[in-house]
Amino acid sequence: MIQPSLIPYIQHHRSLGFNDNDIRTYLVQQGYPPIDVEDTFRVAQMPQTQRHEIHLSKNTLVGLGMVLLVILVLAGAGYFFISRGPSELLDLELQETTLEAEAGTTYRFLVNLINVGGKERYDVTLTHELLDITGKRVTSKTETVAISTRVSKTANLPIPVNLAAGSYVLRTTASYNGMSATSELTLTISAPLETATRSATPSGTPIPTLENPILKKSTANAPEQQWVEGGEAQQLNAMGRKQLLDYVTEIAKTDKNKAVSLCGVVEKVADQHSCYKTLTIQLHSSNICKLMIPVQYIDTCIITYAREAKDYSICGDIENEFLKESCIALGKIEDLKIEEAQQTAQQQQGG
């Protein structure tokens, strides 16, 4: 359905230099249905028409009639072939809720299905598989959903408790009427706390300097590493995640460098990343993200901080091009919100 009130809004922001994708994303986030947004964009793209009076001769009218006849024949043929197209056709996309999971827990993620075929409603079988780096399936789950126009649902996949820590691929295959669609995402599995191998840090041993190419880019403002006593490190690793984060955030109120150093001795990867992300937001420092290993998690930490702090000037620090573009797009959307708020305030003052 066309939203007439959005047409001048779209045209105005185009004139300001915003691209259509950014405007679309913002409107959908504001609650407008994607179909309505697309319909309105098509109308907004139409050039304004002017009315003209045209006088045609008899021969011209006859020629136009023949052309019209040819068009009708072609249109009929086109309808015949189009009507024979697939009635069941869909698009599948996976969206992660987190890039990490712990063995023995249930991993939750989002499945988005869009019906792009002609049939109004049909059933789809979803097969979720967890694959190791060799492509071997380590666990799987199957479920059936009914789709009409689109479906967005939370799916879950139990992770075996004895699964080795490392990188895995989550693959979902949607099967319907002899056809299929596939989508994948990568996640890191960590060992459960009770089975994780622990190596006590000797008393008075300094936390080692992290060596990776990302750290070399910018560490001027990164917190300094401090020594952590072995007993304190052992107590820290015996804590649950919530207790750990509460303890570290309390330390950060008086000694931010020690708090960051405590995150460095956390042996459980998922808990260590949560520790760094929490301090990044609490201490308003994206440089803490650069202490994370493996390095691919640095980018997700930076974009998370950018959204929380609404500081999109740090998008340039992101290595992954897709995430960098996403960060920049979020910044443009935030600019749109600010501009809209300013315009509303000016209108209220003027009224």
Tokens at residue 20, please? 């259509």
- Give the span between the Cα atoms of 77 and 82, in whole angstroms: 9
pLDDT of residue 200: 36
Give, for 116, the enclosing helix (H) or strand (E): none
- Is a pLDDT exceeding 60 seen at residue 207? no
Residue found under tokens 């809004």:
9
Give CA 98 to chain center in angstroms: 10
pLDDT of residue 199: 37
Give SS3 for 223.
Answer: coil
- Is a pLDDT exceeding 70 seen at residue 30? yes
Percent over 70 (pLDDT), the chain: 74
- The sheet carrying 150-158 orders its strands as 90-96, 106-115, 150-158
pLDDT tens digit sequence for 97-127: 677 888 888 888 888 888 876 667 888 999 9
Q: Which residue has the higher pLDDT, 238 or 70?
A: 238
Q: Is 226 exposed, middle or buried (0-12, 13-18, 19+ CB in 10 A)?
A: middle
- Is a pLDDT exceeding 60 seen at residue 197? no
E-state strands within 212-288:
none
pLDDT tens digit sequence for 60-106: 666 666 767 667 656 554 544 444 445 557 788 888 767 788 888 88
In sequence order, what are the beta bridge partners of 184? 171
pLDDT tens digit sequence for 259-296: 888 888 888 888 888 898 899 999 998 889 888 876 66
E-state strands within the chain:
90-96, 100-102, 106-115, 122-131, 137-147, 150-158, 166-176, 179-190
Give SS3 for 100.
Answer: strand
User: Averaged over 136-146, what is the pLDDT?
Assistant: 91
Mean pLDDT of the chain: 76
**What pTM was estimated for this model as a whole?**
0.39
In sequence order, what are the beta bridge partners of 9? none
Sequence ranges of the domains in the chain: 6-43+60-83, 90-192, 222-334
CATH topology of domain 90-192: Immunoglobulin-like (2.60.40)
Residue 287 near residue 311 (C-beta atoms within 8 A): no
- Is a pLDDT exceeding 70 seen at residue 57? no
Amino acid at 253: K
- Give the span between the Cα atoms of 112 and 107, in whole angstroms: 16
- The sheet carrying 122-131 orders its strands as 100-102, 179-190, 166-176, 122-131, 137-147
- Is a pLDDT exceeding 50 seen at residue 48? no
CB-based contacts of 248: which residues, under 8 Å, 6+ apart? 259, 262, 263, 275, 278, 279
pLDDT of residue 127: 94
pLDDT of residue 67: 67
- Give the span between the Cα atoms of 190 and 104, in whole angstroms: 10
pLDDT tens digit sequence for 121-139: 888 999 999 998 778 899 9
User: Averaged over 192-200, what is the pLDDT?
Assistant: 46
Residue 289 near residue 298 (C-beta atoms within 8 A): yes
CA angle 141, 145, 149 (to 5 degrees): 140
Q: Is 201 exposed, middle or buried (0-12, 13-18, 19+ CB in 10 A)?
A: buried
User: Averaged over 20-24, what is the pLDDT?
Assistant: 78
Q: Count the Cβ atoms, other than its own, within 10 Å of residue 141.
A: 14
Tokens at residue 168, please? 């895995």
- Is a pLDDT exceeding 70 seen at residue 351? no
pLDDT of residue 85: 45
pLDDT bin (cut points 50, 70, 90) of residue 236 is confident
pLDDT of residue 247: 92
Residue 291 near residue 297 (C-beta atoms within 8 A): no
